[in-house]
């Protein structure tokens, strides 16, 4: 889409739709369960050029929560809709719905049962971080020089019903302006308290920091606060930063027909796109 000159906003939505449809990721199909064995999904989309933004929180119904976020952005009356009201908006907007069974995977159910048993036993959390943070996100820069960011998540395994993470909170888990676009994954409460995504944007705008320095420093500062996680960030000059403070983060960069991907701290693998 980008190679054909399409807008960044459409490209990040297309990327997130593909990831939501893939049961391997914690968003859309394959979302993690709440402690009540239900799904509550959050998604957000922000367009950098004009800062239009749309997000939904705590929804279970829209087959692709990011399309619900886009509908909120397009309507332009609200920025963040939650729960039943968000669902009513989605029905009104003609968003495609799916039954809860569409989102369900055996792997996430096992993860929920394991986590509830771990809590009941008071045992230490030994899960691999790359597995724990399956939130999906995309950032893009288009030919016109516009940036966009999209993020979608089922949240954290065994979260309290009603809990909303950083993903739909603009400036925390998702942000785009005319200088940079940021999409985060990790312990959402800490990303909200530190306004992680906007902190990076502010350092770039007002501090004149290089995007990579700002992104790496913010991620490093979240770690001692319990903010395990990472982010993907893209600057208007094409600079890319993919820092994380945990074991790994599934990540990739596509540029000039070449895709580079990595999970842990190994060198990125190249393939053509
Ligand atoms: N940031 C997400 C949340 O707190 C979860 C994650 O990225 O793993 O809801």
Q: What is the CATH number of the domain that holds 196?
A: 3.60.20.30
Number of domains into which the chain is organized: 1
Q: Is the CB of 135 under 6 A from ligand 1?
A: yes
Residue 230 pairs with which residues in a beta bridge? Answer: 185, 244
Is residue 1 in a domain?
no
Identify which of 184, 187, 219 to mutate to test ligand 1's pocket (most ligand atoms within 8 A of the CB).
187
Is residue 3 in a domain?
no
Whether 135 is catalytic: yes
With vertex at residue 139, the alpha carbon angle to CA 138 and CA 143, rounded to the nearest 5 degrees, is: 130
Per-residue pLDDT of the chain (273 residues; tens, 9 = 90+): 999 999 999 999 999 999 999 999 999 999 999 999 999 999 999 999 999 999 999 999 999 999 999 999 999 999 999 999 999 999 999 999 999 999 999 999 999 999 999 999 999 988 766 556 689 999 999 999 999 999 999 999 999 999 999 999 999 999 999 999 999 999 999 999 999 999 999 999 999 999 999 999 999 999 999 999 999 999 999 999 999 999 999 999 999 899 999 999 999 999 998
Domain, as residue range, for 219:
8-272
Whether the model pTM is above 0.75: yes
Is residue 66 in a domain?
yes
CA–centroid distance, residue 88 to ligand 1 (Å): 25
Is residue 187 in a domain?
yes
What gap in Å lies between CA 137 and CA 135, rounded to an integer? Answer: 7
β-strands 80-82, 52-59: how paired? parallel
What gap in Å lies between CA 43 and CA 182, rounded to an integer? Answer: 14
pLDDT digits (tens, 9 = 90+) for 181-232: 999 999 999 999 999 999 999 999 999 999 999 999 999 999 999 999 999 9
């Amino acid at each position: 889409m980008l190679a054909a000159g399409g807008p960044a906003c459409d490209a990040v939505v297309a990327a997130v739709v593909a990831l939501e449809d893939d049961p391997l990721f914690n968003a859309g199909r394959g979302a993690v369960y709440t402690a009540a064995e239900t799904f509550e999904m959050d998604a957000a989309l922000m367009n950098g050029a004009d800062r239009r933004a749309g997000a939904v929180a705590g929804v279970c119904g829209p087959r692709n929560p990011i399309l619900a976020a886009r509908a909120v952005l397009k309507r332009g009356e609200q920025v963040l809709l939650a729960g039943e009201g968000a669902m009513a908006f989605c029905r009104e907007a003609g968003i495609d719905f799916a039954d809860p069974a569409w989102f369900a995977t055996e792997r996430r159910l096992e993860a929920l049962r394991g986590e509830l048993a771990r809590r009941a036993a008071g045992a230490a959390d030994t899960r691999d971080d790359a597995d724990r943070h399956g939130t999906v996100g995309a950032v893009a820069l288009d030919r016109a020089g516009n940036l966009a960011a999209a993020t979608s998540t089922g949240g954290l395994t065994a979260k309290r019903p009603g809990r909303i993470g950083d993903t739909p909170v603009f400036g925390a888990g998702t942000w785009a302006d005319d200088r940079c676009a940021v999409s985060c994954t990790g312990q959402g409460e800490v990303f909200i308290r530190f306004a992680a995504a906007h902190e990076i944007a502010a350092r770039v705008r007002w501090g004149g920091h290089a995007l990579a320095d700002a992104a790496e420093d913010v991620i490093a500062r979240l770690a001692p606060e319990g903010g395990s996680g990472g982010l993907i960030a893209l600057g208007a000059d094409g600079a890319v930063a993919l820092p994380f403070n945990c074991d790994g983060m599934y990540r990739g960069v596509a540029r000039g027909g070449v895709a580079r991907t990595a999970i842990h701290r190994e060198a990125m693998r190249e393939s053509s796109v």
